[in-house]
Amino acid sequence: MRNRTYRIFLALFFFSAAAFLPAIAGAQSKYWIEFSDKGFDSKSFIPGNPLFEAIRASLSLSCLHRRERAMGEDEATTVTIEDAPICARYLDSLRAMGIKISAKSNWSNAVSARLTDAQAEQVLKFPFVRDIHPVGVANMLSTEPTVPNRHTPHIFSSVLHPLSFDSGCGYDPIIYEYGDTEIGSNNRTDLDRINVWPLHAMGLNGSGVRLGHLDVGVNVAVSSLDSADVLFQHDYVYDTSSVINPQDEHGTATLSTAMGYLPDTMIGPAYKASVMIAHTENTDYEHNIEEDNYAEALEAMEALGVQITSSSLGYFTFDSLQHSYTYADMNGHTAISTQAVERAVKLGVLVVTAEGNNPPDQNVPAPADADSILACGALDVNDSIAGFSSPGPTSDLRIKPDICAPGVNVWGQNSDGTFSDGLDGTSFATPLTSGSCCLILQAHPEATAQQIRHAVMVTGNNAAHPNNVYGWGKLNAYAAALELGTIIHPMHTWIDTTFHICAGIASQNPIVNATLTYFGDSDINPHEAQFHLAADSLVYSCTTANGPAALTNLGAHIYYRISVLDGSGTTTVNPLSGWNVLAVPQPASVAEIAKGNDLSSQMEAYPNPCSSQFMLNLSAPGDWRLVNANGATVMSGSSQGPSSMEVPTAAFANGAYYIEFISDSGETKALPIAVIH
């Protein structure tokens, strides 16, 4: 395997334009141009104003809901003057001078552009310009990490037992697919060290969580990412809608670490999360990167409803011909990237970023200096701090890093499709952390970003004595999820003659009881059934005690929720409000299952439950179809006589399905089958 070391990138942005102009006389340099206002009376920016309402409509519902939870305010008050666009007249004035605008930030009310010294002086004279600041260009750090000691990965084979489907439930099979072979051994080690496996065993995979990834390009066509749910991608360097480009090595490796999915080879913590991808860093020139793209991309993701962002980038030091940030600037307020992060945090985004790969005599870069984020330090294979991981504190004496995760010999996929067990840097501690946070948010969808951040930090193994080397210590994803309360995660449901449900359930205290409460369209009287442990721990099953007639009498839908009482006397309910809804197969499925005990006389399916496929044996000619829990046909076929066929199910969601068979003689049979990946 190739040993690859990735260095975190660093840059600068804020200083006085007046002091800088003489130094760049005759040259064209990039500036951050700040405007004095938005071009209208800010007091008029209130609900009902056409501009206000247009901006509110432009923000996604998930964005508005996240803002409401984070700010504790109603939707209207979460839309502020910072969301208003930059005044078009101001932009037109710049363009009239021949100035081409590179990046825009509504939040900062600023744009970046390349200016000659004469243009810079003229721009400063505009009454609507508050100030201009040079956009610095940075050196890539040359720090080499310490050489790690190779070690044999610790496998939890003595703890995890094979799945038992006696009750239709068991650990999610993904925990057996990390890769115990030489090829995938480091993948299991990375995930086990931060205690991800219990969350995976309970069926948590990041589904429904929106992760933002800011880096260089990403080859989303590699085998561990080609099935990813990409909600948004944009190349801010080349201004294209695809992030696949020659600069995609580092970004592919970091994103695969967070959410790669290739069973038995590469499993990231949040392998089913949805992702927004931005190429913000330009590595065409060996020493140059720019910070303005980061701010613009973060702003766009926030409006689209991103919940967690992951960035393995940082800004601090610059070429000798450029100004650099000083340590005093690492105060959580100065750098452009830090200011953008501050705004995103206020709006409820959990920002996870790299602590930096600086020598011990240097400190945390931006935006890791921001408050209320998770800045990630790197651990070596022995869980000691990696020699390259930047220490704290910030210049205003806040402890950094916030949390640590594996950052030496991390497993990931390269942009050429190969895999490496030698990925080093805080760049890789970061996606392991952000991916884990996706699982925590899925387990507690009501939690705010700051509640998740707090849970992650107080459950670190150095939380009792945080310091500027390890911060709050090594990430423990499972403990952090439990810190937020009892976890209840319905894994899958199915219906044959009764209603079955499998759920991941865990608490910091012993589980006293877990109860299923349910009713139907035609029977609104609540019924109850008890859950029972279906594995060594974590996974519980429940089957309703009512017979086929009672189940049929519930109507077309079952409404259900799960309540768990723990040893502290606390009752937790899922969902927190309302009810989960499940369609009851109609009309033949339940009745036919109830009628016949000898389905195998004409139809047989195995294995059941299945994962990627099942064998369907038919002993008579006729037509068959596979029906999901909503009654929709997802596959169909026919048989000319006794036959056996493979039915692929890898593309189907987990859940209950029914095989309905109508023989040429007109007899109908139905058989339930569960799909569990």
Q: What is the pLDDT of residue 282?
A: 78
**DSSP string over 271-327:** TT-EEEEEE----SSTT---SHHHHHHHHHHHHTT--EEEE---B--B-TTS----G
- Longest Cα–Cα distance of the chain, Å, equals 94
Q: What is the pLDDT of residue 11?
A: 34
Residue 408 lies in a domain: yes
Q: Among 532, 548, 583, which residue terminates a domain?
A: 583
Residue 215 lies in a domain: yes
Q: What is the CATH number of the domain that holds 498?
A: 2.60.40.10
The two three-digit tokens of residue 581, written as one number: 């809804």
Query: How many structural domains is the chain composed of?
Result: 4
pLDDT in tens, 554-582: 788 889 999 999 999 999 999 998 899 88
pLDDT at residue 143 tops 50: no
Q: Collapse the DSSP code of 105 into the 3-class scheme (helix H, G, I; strand E, B; otherwise coil) and give the result.
A: strand
Q: Stretch 603-619: mean pLDDT, rounded?
A: 77
How far from the centroid of its chain's Cα atoms is residue 352's Cα? 11
Q: How confident is the model at residue 415 (pLDDT cuts 50, 70, 90)?
A: very high
Q: Collapse the DSSP code of 5 into the 3-class scheme (helix H, G, I; strand E, B; otherwise coil) and give the result.
A: strand
Is the CA virtual torsion 509, 166, 442, 198 positive or negative?
positive
Residue 260 lies in a domain: yes
Q: What is the pLDDT of residue 677?
A: 65
- Let me know whether 233 and 331 are in one domain: yes
| Rounded CA separation 207/199 (Å) | 12
Half-sphere exposure of 179 (CA within 13 A, CB side): 23
- Let me know whether 339 and 436 are in one domain: yes
User: Domain range for residue 521?
Assistant: 487-583
pLDDT in tens, 510-554: 999 999 999 888 877 888 999 999 988 999 999 987 654 466 677
Residue 565 dihedral angles phi and psi, to the nearest 5°? -105, 125
Q: 68 and 260 in contact (C-beta within 8 Å)? A: no
Q: Stretch 287-296: mean pLDDT, rounded?
A: 74
| Rounded CA separation 577/572 (Å) | 11
Q: What is the pLDDT of residue 168?
A: 62
Residue 104 lies in a domain: yes
Residue 146 lies in a domain: no
Q: Stretch 633-647: mean pLDDT, rounded?
A: 81
Pick from 147-161, 168-182, 470-484: least confident? 147-161
- Let me know whether 592 and 575 are in one domain: no
Q: What is the pLDDT of residue 195?
A: 97
Q: Stretch 153-175: mean pLDDT, rounded?
A: 53
Q: What is the pLDDT of residue 26?
A: 52
Pick from 346-350, 645-649, 670-674: least confident? 670-674
Q: 97 and 54 in contact (C-beta within 8 Å)? A: no
Pick from 432-436, 590-594, 615-619: least confident? 590-594
Residue 149 lies in a domain: no
Q: What are the start-end ranges of the H helices in 556-649?
A: 588-595
- Let me know whether 191 and 328 are in one domain: yes
- Let me know whether 283 and 252 are in one domain: yes
- Let me know whether 536 and 626 are in one domain: no
pLDDT at residue 488 tops 60: yes
**Parallel, antiparallel or unpaired: strands 499-506 and 539-543:** antiparallel
pLDDT in tens, 95-138: 999 999 988 999 999 999 989 999 999 999 999 999 998 775 44
The proportion of the chain whose per-residue pLDDT surpasses 90, expressed as a percent, equals 56
pLDDT in tens, 245-261: 888 889 999 999 999 99
Closest of 645, 637, 648, 658 to residue 615, by C-alpha: 645
- Let me know whether 220 and 324 are in one domain: yes
Ramachandran area for residue 34 (φ above 0: left; ψ -120 to 50: alpha; else beta): beta
Closest of 555, 554, 576, 578 to residue 564, by C-alpha: 576
Q: What is the pLDDT of residue 430?
A: 97
Q: What is the pLDDT of residue 659?
A: 84
How far from the centroid of its chain's Cα atoms is residue 591's Cα? 42
pLDDT at residue 594 tops 80: no
The proportion of the chain whose per-residue pLDDT surpasses 70, expressed as a percent, equals 82
Q: Stretch 433-455: mean pLDDT, rounded?
A: 97
| Rounded CA separation 307/351 (Å) | 9
| Sequence letter at residue 218 | V
The two three-digit tokens of residue 32, written as one number: 């951050």
Q: What is the pLDDT of residue 597?
A: 38
Residue 674 dihedral angles phi and psi, to the nearest 5°? -105, 135
- Let me know whether 125 and 238 are in one domain: no
Q: Stretch 622-630: mean pLDDT, rounded?
A: 81
pLDDT at residue 165 tops 80: no
Summary mean pLDDT of the chain: 83
| Rounded CA separation 559/580 (Å) | 6
Say what angle helices 426-443 and 249-259 make with each other, to 10 degrees: 30
Q: What is the pLDDT of residue 289?
A: 55
| Sequence letter at residue 163 | L
Pick from 51-55, 307-311, 597-601: least confident? 597-601
| Sequence letter at residue 548 | P
pLDDT at residue 166 tops 60: no
- Let me know whether 209 and 346 are in one domain: yes
pLDDT in tens, 40-67: 999 999 999 999 999 999 999 999 999 9
- Let me know whether 417 and 520 are in one domain: no
CB atoms within 10 A of CB 545: 12
Q: Among 84, 114, 134, which residue terminates a domain?
A: 134
Which residues have C-beta within 8 Å of that of residue 561, sequence separation ≥ 6?
A: 516, 517, 518, 573, 574, 575, 579, 580
- Let me know whether 65 and 183 are in one domain: no
Residue 97 lies in a domain: yes
Pick from 48-52, 182-186, 266-270, 601-605: least confident? 182-186
Q: 123 and 18 in contact (C-beta within 8 Å)? A: no
Q: What is the pLDDT of residue 25?
A: 44
Q: Stretch 153-163: mean pLDDT, rounded?
A: 32
pLDDT in tens, 170-225: 999 999 999 764 554 577 889 999 999 999 999 999 999 999 999 999 999 999 99
- Let me know whether 430 and 294 are in one domain: yes
**Parallel, antiparallel or unpaired: strands 308-311 and 603-606:** unpaired
Which residues have C-beta within 8 Å of that of residue 639, sequence separation ≥ 6?
A: 618, 620, 621, 622, 623, 624, 645
Q: Among 454, 483, 512, which residue terminates a domain?
A: 483
Burial class (CB in 10 A: 0-12, 13-18, 19+), 304: middle
